[in-house]
Structure 1
Amino acid sequence: MMDQDFGSVGNGQKRQPIENPCHQTKPLFRSWFQLLLLLCVVVFVLCYALSNSSVSWQTHFALQKHYKWPFNDKNKVYMSSHQVHPKHRHILIEIQTTTEPSTVQPVKTQYHQAYPRNYNFIMDNKEVCKQNPFLVLMVPVAPNNVAARDAIRKTWGKESLVQGEVVITLFMLGLSEGADVDKLQQENVQYHDLIQSDFMDTYLNLTIKTMVIMDWLATRCPAAAYAMKVDSDMFLNIDNLVIMLQKPNIPKTNYLTGMVMTNRPVVRSKDSKWYVSEELYPDPEYPTYTLGMGYVFSNDLPEKFVEVSKSIKPFNIEDAYIGMCMKKLGFTPTSPPDPSQFQAYNSKYNRCEFSKVITFILGPPQELVDYWTDLKKPGPPC
């Protein structure tokens, strides 16, 4: 193009000497070449930057799509409870929490499947704690086990004023296939004592269930003095329990008591109901803990358990897991004033013996009703 332009300078005009066009063309050619080279460099830099930006945004979008992370107004990234479907809560969820991403390095936190704030309460009765109870009895029970709940309501669960102290009894439920939702709601309308969360209610999820109990106590009933996690198949002498807690030497904080278990080996047999793999719990022995049938604790502990559980890998032995929480907090379970009051099994019913204990493990719900009725009949038990 440049040669043609310079070869036809006007119509009929005399050409300039040959050397003049050559001298004019070389500097102009160099300037155009330099400009073109510079333009290529600029285009290359822009394409590279846009390419990196695109990859970055694609990665960011993929992470958002995979984890469904919500962002709050402080640019913190967290996993909210309703975003984990109950059927998938066996998966460990690792998230990153950042504040001011430009200046602070990300801090990794694990909200594992036993962390209770991964779950939502779908049935609640938080107003019951307006009574400022001295003691809250929390009973984990399967949604379909109405018989156990009714037996407790007829016996130790019906006591609302014991030794001058306000006591309330509540049942903790999860989700279960085949459970009649309408009947559960009707039951709660009648008794106002059901708490339900959206975890799957299975034996392997007892640690989740226990930690959800702790979360409920910490958030709904922090003013209570004491609480007890007590199984639904238990005989509970509620009078003896309150008398024990009223003793002046019973601590009001950092206190956990019951049937204390020490130096208990971890069961490694895969055929056992209590099997725990080395991957979940590598140590050969559990820390000191209280047997899960029924343990009592000062009500400052639930909040501490919830907080410290963030850093403790969960396993399926719920009472030993609470023992791990105590160990991590630097506390140790305490033997009750009279250890003989926390019993596991008995060979047969004896009115005198049942009048002295706090706990016994029973069989069918009707057994509880029968024993309680006999214990409360007129006349001295011994």
Structure 2
Amino acid sequence: MRRSSHLLQVTFSLLISILCLIILFGRDEIPQIDPSNHVLTNIMGSTSQNRPQKPTTGSKEDFTWGRCGRNESVANVSGFSSLPGHIQDFLFYRHCRHFPMLLDVPDKCGGPDKSIDVFLLLVIKSSPLNYERREVLRKTWAKERLQNGLWIRRIFLSGTTGSGFEKRKLNKLLRVENREHNDILQWDFNDSFFNLTLKQILFLEWMDKNCRKARFLLNGDDDIFANTDNMVDYLQSLKDNSGDKHLFAGHLIRYVGPIREPRSKYYVPVQIQESDSYPPYCGGGGFLLSAYTAVVIYKMSQTIPILPIDDVYMGMCLEKAGLGPESHIGVRTAGLPIPSTKVDAFDPCYYREIILVHRFLPHQIYIMWHGIHEPDLKCGNLLS
């Protein structure tokens, strides 16, 4: 009996020891959910109804949405296999409208209730690589300031570029910039020409939550020269519109349609859009709009499939809402025609009365901004 009791004690002790070893060494085998792990994030939120998590102010890569999986069924569309790779990629992910947010500035406008204090919000599309452009704009026309007693605020919109080490380095650059300037919204999608519409939609969603009462917006590229002094003067002069009525003004483009030439940057095949015509729209280099119109465009965008040409897409949203764009002579997204080759095409006298001109190099923007503000600038006959 005593021997049997001793055997039971030994057996029980052995079982306890084995159980402790399993617990001790098994802990390392339990997978931990790392919010920065792209594979797990993709598994956890791969449907088109990605579940949002609580957004955070980003000085690090904080994901607010799960990843969206590609739509394999589009491969069955007639002629799909003959399309260029970037067109195929666009169609695979066309339904994806929510991406992880890496950088956020939710208090840029002072919060949703105080955003009415922002008269003009400068919304500037910028690739992660374009550090020099952003720095020049911060010191020139996009400087945050009071103009005619009204607040101008600035925000840059960016995706991600590259992969691996390169992507991480560029993301770190934007984090450092944002820590210093508090002016970057960044999402984890490929920052490409065909994703400009996605960038616009993501911004409009952000604005609807964080800056809905701002009066007016300039929406433009980071290679434009904008005379924001004149911009404020023009917006102040509008009759009976303090941002609460429709405004969408820029370089008006009408009676055009999709470019069907595969070698063109703007190539849009019938698999993306069957119609051969576009609605009226304003050139995407830069345009002005009211907060009222921005909210309308956001609402319309929720029911219109994404088109990769972002300025045309804005026109589609306006058309669906029964609104239209208008022309403004001071917006020159196609460039400013100079009357003679014998004069300096960058004489500030040509630019002091305009609102916006597209395609400037960073040093040209810097020189021009200071040129038009020279106190002793005299503009006579420029052809003499």
TM-score clears 0.5: yes
Q: Deviations over 1:102-123 (max 9, x none)?
A: xxxxxxxxxx73664x124221
- Report which of the two has the higher share of helix: 1
In 1: Cα distance, 2:183 partner to 2:71 partner? 28
In 1: Cα distance, 2:184 partner to 2:148 partner? 25
Residue in 1 aligned with 2:233?
243
In 1: Cα distance, 2:71 partner to 2:272 partner? 13
> Structure 2: which amino acid aligns with 1:137?
L
**Retained in 1: the 8 A contact 2:122–2:219?**
yes
> Structure 1: which amino acid aligns with 2:218?
M
In 1: Cα distance, 2:149 partner to 2:71 partner? 44
Normalization by structure 1: what TM-score? 0.70
Residue in 2 aligned with 1:359?
356
What is the Cα deviation at residue 373 of structure 1? 1.9
Q: How does 1:141-290 map to 2 (within 5 A)?
A: 141-177=126-162, 178-179=166-167, 180=169, 181-249=171-239, 251=241, 252=243, 253-290=245-282
What is the Cα deviation at residue 192 of structure 1? 0.9
What is the Cα deviation at residue 161 of structure 1? 1.1
Change (3 A) 1:232 1:221: same
1:129 partnered with 2:96: no
**Retained in 2: the 8 A contact 1:174–1:197?**
yes
> Structure 1: which amino acid aligns with 2:269?
S
**Retained in 2: the 8 A contact 1:256–1:333?**
yes
> Structure 2: which amino acid aligns with 1:366?
H
SS at match of 1:184: helix
Change (3 A) 1:219 1:358: same
What is the Cα deviation at residue 67 of structure 1? 8.1
Residue in 1 aligned with 2:290?
298
**Retained in 2: the 8 A contact 1:138–1:229?**
yes
What is the Cα deviation at residue 305 of structure 1? 2.1
**Retained in 1: the 8 A contact 2:104–2:184?**
yes
> Structure 1: which amino acid aligns with 2:231?
L
> Structure 2: which amino acid aligns with 1:83?
G
What is the Cα deviation at residue 295 of structure 1? 0.9
SS at match of 1:166: strand
Change (3 A) 1:341 1:306: closer
What is the Cα deviation at residue 128 of structure 1? 1.8
In 1: Cα distance, 2:291 partner to 2:325 partner? 14
1:318 partnered with 2:310: yes
> Structure 1: which amino acid aligns with 2:199?
K
SS at match of 1:275: coil
What is the Cα deviation at residue 249 of structure 1? 2.4
What is the Cα deviation at residue 216 of structure 1? 1.9
Residue in 1 aligned with 2:99?
119
1:84 partnered with 2:67: yes
For structure 2, the 5+ residue unaligned runs are 1-42, 53-64, 75-92, 339-344, 380-384
In 1: Cα distance, 2:260 partner to 2:199 partner? 23
In 2: Cα distance, 1:374 partner to 1:272 partner? 36
Residue in 2 aligned with 1:50?
none
Q: Deviations over 1:152-204 (max 9, x none)?
A: 01110114111221010111111222242322211111111111112221111
> Structure 2: which amino acid aligns with 1:265?
G
In 1: Cα distance, 2:154 partner to 2:130 partner? 16
In 1: Cα distance, 2:233 partner to 2:95 partner? 33
Change (3 A) 1:68 1:343: closer
In 1: Cα distance, 2:71 partner to 2:192 partner? 12
> Structure 1: which amino acid aligns with 2:206?
W
Q: Deviations over 1:206-238 (max 9, x none)?
A: 111111122222111011011111110000000
In 1: Cα distance, 2:334 partner to 2:321 partner? 27
Percent pairwise identity: 26
> Structure 2: which amino acid aligns with 1:127?
D
> Structure 1: which amino acid aligns with 2:304?
I
**Retained in 1: the 8 A contact 2:286–2:331?**
no
**Retained in 2: the 8 A contact 1:259–1:291?**
yes
> Structure 2: which amino acid aligns with 1:354?
Y
In 2: Cα distance, 1:275 partner to 1:301 partner? 28
In 2: Cα distance, 1:369 partner to 1:91 partner? 47
CA radius of gyration, larger in? 1
**Retained in 2: the 8 A contact 1:258–1:335?**
yes
Normalization by structure 2: what TM-score? 0.69
What is the Cα deviation at residue 381 of structure 1? 4.5
Q: Deviations over 1:297-339 (max 9, x none)?
A: 1112333322222221222110000100001111111233xx2
SS at match of 1:245: helix
